[in-house]
Amino acid sequence: MIVFDLECRAGQHRFEGWFGSSDDFARQQERKLVACPVCGSDDVAKAVMAPHVGRKGNQAPVTRPRDEKPAAPAPAAAPAANAAVRAAVTNAGPQLPPEAAAMLRAIALAQAEALKSSRWVGGNFAENARAMHYGEADPEAIHGQTTPGEAEALLEEGIEIAPVLFPLVPPEQAN
């Protein structure tokens, strides 16, 4: 998993995008699948970003003062939790407080549990959501992919949807 800082050229809005690889970003950009979450423009490019540089091997690790109590242990990640999410939380760097890492792990775990009882519909998310909303299909929990414009249209129709908070690997691409 790779994270890019992105910027839309139309409104110069900056946002973050998660991709399987640099090539994955290029393919999605060519197919106009990368869009600005603020204005919906698909004229998006990688923004200039500084790399995360870890501490040198000869530097002492950051320690907490003796009077500071250790943070409560984070809940163990479920096997079903996305490995990329666990890696992102683990490798977030020394600037991430233990409490924040624990919260991210808890959110990732909750998402993984919710997705277990949900059906992957891929790029047919909007069609499936509409069919259930209008009584053309039996209601069930689903997850998939859609464009920002299509998601906005669903909300305008009164169809309740919510974004998946952490990157999700489609079943056919999972190892």
Tell me the pLDDT of the chain (175 aa) as tens digits.
Answer: 788 889 988 888 888 888 888 888 889 989 988 998 888 888 998 887 666 666 666 666 655 555 555 544 444 443 444 454 555 555 555 567 888 888 888 888 888 888 888 898 988 999 999 999 999 999 999 998 889 899 999 999 999 898 888 777 777 776 6
124 and 154, same domain (yes or no): yes
Contacts 24+ apart (CB under 8 A), 88-95: 88/1, 88/3, 88/166, 93/52, 93/54, 94/55, 94/62
What is the rounded CA–CA span in Å between residue 150 and residue 129? 11
> Distances from the Cα of 110 to the Cαs of 25, 72, 88, 114, 118, in angstroms?
27, 18, 16, 6, 13
pTM of the model: 0.45
Q: Quick check: is 146 in a domain?
A: yes
Q: Return phi, psi of residue 121, to 5°.
A: -120, 5
Q: Quick check: is 6 in a domain?
A: yes
Angle among Cα 17, 160, 120 to the nearest 5 degrees reads: 60
Q: Quick check: is 156 in a domain?
A: yes
Nearest C-alpha neighbor of 118 from the set 173, 168, 175: 168
Write out the residue range of the structural domain in which residue 108 sits.
83-116
CA 8 remoteness from chain centre: 19
123 and 161, same domain (yes or no): yes
How many independent structural domains does the chain possess? 3
Terminal alpha carbon distance of the chain = 13
Q: Which helix or strand (DSSP H or E) is residue 142 part of?
A: strand 142-144
Q: Quick check: is 78 in a domain?
A: no
Identity of the residue numbered 60 = A
Q: Quick check: is 88 in a domain?
A: yes
